[in-house]
Structure 1
């Protein structure tokens, strides 16, 4: 069966998004968040082009993935690399924010494991009643994610060295090495040793691989689309941050971190939900869980390296309520995927936990 390729808009919108981002950088008075009517229109246009670029990145990632194979996580790795660069630029900009990495990684884990996964399970089950997964593959994701999540976000609040919630520099370097090594081992198991555990195509469904020229064009447009998403997300996040400043939020850093994580995860979220609705739940989970795992395994070591180099402290230990929510999410994920079959109830429970997480952002 011939797969539908990207449309003309998938090629136009990312270019328009980059052009708008460049324009807003040259004329900051027009950027969202500034005073006046024009910045307001710029904010609306930036949101529209960001969403369009996110959808385009999904279309081009499908082209690249059909050539390389789904387990390689083309979209996940691309977004993760850009996410690390965004977090690094934010960490180096302005005053030191010691909780930036913690809030960003925690937000990604909660949004993916409750919001995106919940939507995938609910919409997929409503359309296909029950869906099957490769238990070995999903267990691999969860085992590495839970180990890294507890060691990097819960353990720092329990150690005796340094301030509460922080690792000492030597502990931070060692844990960063552990995170990267464990993620490297997982990638080897996923793409080489046990690749079949992460593949699950419904019978009778086959997609023709793209030609070399189509693959090259898709790869270039994927990078352009992701660059547009990141470039515009900074302006959109700034506009939302200024808007949120009008309210007396108990924890504005957590809300801002969640917003940035949501914008960065938009391409992967769209791709995961689309795959689940097509009864490709394993591919959907590869995208969703892969993005969360890559974030916790790569973002924190990158931020740790920068913090050690510039001498800024980095608080990783979660607060009590965040630790509780994270542990509930991990337990729920184990139960939802433990039988190898999912239904709508699993999706509803995940989405309820996501709603509680959102509530705690504004009413901690």
Structure 2
């Protein structure tokens, strides 16, 4: 009976999220219309449906991932989550007045959460359960090299260019960097899935079983995965827009940072859970593939997406990080380099990442 209930939930929640999102969008209750009590009720219901759907979508994504195998499986959720983030950021860029730093804050938050929070939890929890865990050094080094190149080009370099104001690119520079970002990420995906697949695949740990889902269930999971993701995108956009309007109304100075971190946290939640599960199952490399893949995809695909939206709509886009955020980013990348320099990780390695993550969260509210 419990299995039947779970099956019904897995089919019903993606559809419920999409229906709820369409209904709320049509009424406008979450943002602009309706009494405060009604908007609070609708917002709470939207959040509840969205969070439940996130877990359901995760199950469908893992079913598809088991069928297609590694390293393709980890790309399924990565591409899906990146599509969510691009959609939310672009929608919120076009919501209300021009908000040139929202994309920067969301991308920065995604990189920090993935490289310090998610990686830290994987290393700490996996190390606590299994004492020591092995990683494929070639694969993690490739992730880190791509991530360093992309983050420096898109989040640090704009502060030092001279054609426009500090923190911004000219139209030519923005287009050039966007093309290079897509090219580098496409090259990385080609290496991960075709040319050097073995660098990203860890041997199956003893005692861990792999269950292959039936073909018909995989087809249904793929369809429900897309439906659920569309619903999550629309609900998250509405919730984030409501939060942004509330913060602006109360004149919160860190509104962009808070909303950016919220967007990143929402869209990364399925991947974070998947990565931690893999680490607890002693599949640390798969967990790192998911976490670091999110950070690379965010830079490689989200920046070009919001850049295209900025160029087409004429809305400003500020990408250069303030000095404090740039220091945190460099620190996170340096720690990743040290952590992945060996083929073994422990609980202590994860705690180092988590300390940097807690510092990042603290400075959001008390800069």
Q: Specify which of 123, 128, 131 is matched with residue 130 of structure 2.
A: 128
Residue 62 of structure 1 corresponds to 62
Q: Say if 1:276 and 1:284, in contact at 8 Å, map to a contact too.
A: yes
| 1:51-86 CA-partner distances (Å, limit 9, x unpaired) | 111111111111111121231210111111232122
Residue 104 of structure 1 corresponds to 106
Separation (CA, whole Å) in 2 of partners of 1:34 and 1:130: 55
Normalised by the length of structure 2, the TM-score is 0.92
Q: Which moved more, 1:251-260 or 1:179-188?
A: 251-260
Separation (CA, whole Å) in 1 of partners of 2:135 and 2:283: 9
Gaps in structure 2 of 5+ consecutive residues: 1-5
Separation (CA, whole Å) in 1 of partners of 2:337 and 2:331: 10
Q: Say if 2:92 and 2:241, in contact at 8 Å, map to a contact too.
A: no
Q: Summarize the alignment of residues 50-199 of structure 1 with structure 2, pairs less than 5 Å apart.
A: 50-72=50-72, 73-199=75-201
Q: Summarize the alignment of residues 1-364 of structure 1 with structure 2, pairs less than 5 Å apart.
A: 7-29=7-29, 35-72=35-72, 73-200=75-202, 201-245=204-248, 249-364=252-367
Which ranges of 4 or more aligned residues in structure 1 deviate by more than 4 Å?
30-34, 245-248
| 1:323-357 CA-partner distances (Å, limit 9, x unpaired) | 00000000011111211111111211211111111
How many correspondences in the alignment? 359
Residue 3 of structure 1 corresponds to none
Separation (CA, whole Å) in 2 of partners of 1:326 and 1:214: 41
Separation (CA, whole Å) in 2 of partners of 1:273 and 1:310: 39
Gaps in structure 1 of 5+ consecutive residues: 1-5
Q: Which moved more, 1:156-165 or 1:325-334?
A: 156-165
| 1:94-125 CA-partner distances (Å, limit 9, x unpaired) | 22222122111101111111111111111111
Normalised by the length of structure 1, the TM-score is 0.93
Separation (CA, whole Å) in 2 of partners of 1:102 and 1:77: 19
Alignment RMSD: 1.9
Separation (CA, whole Å) in 2 of partners of 1:33 and 1:246: 16
Separation (CA, whole Å) in 2 of partners of 1:246 and 1:176: 34
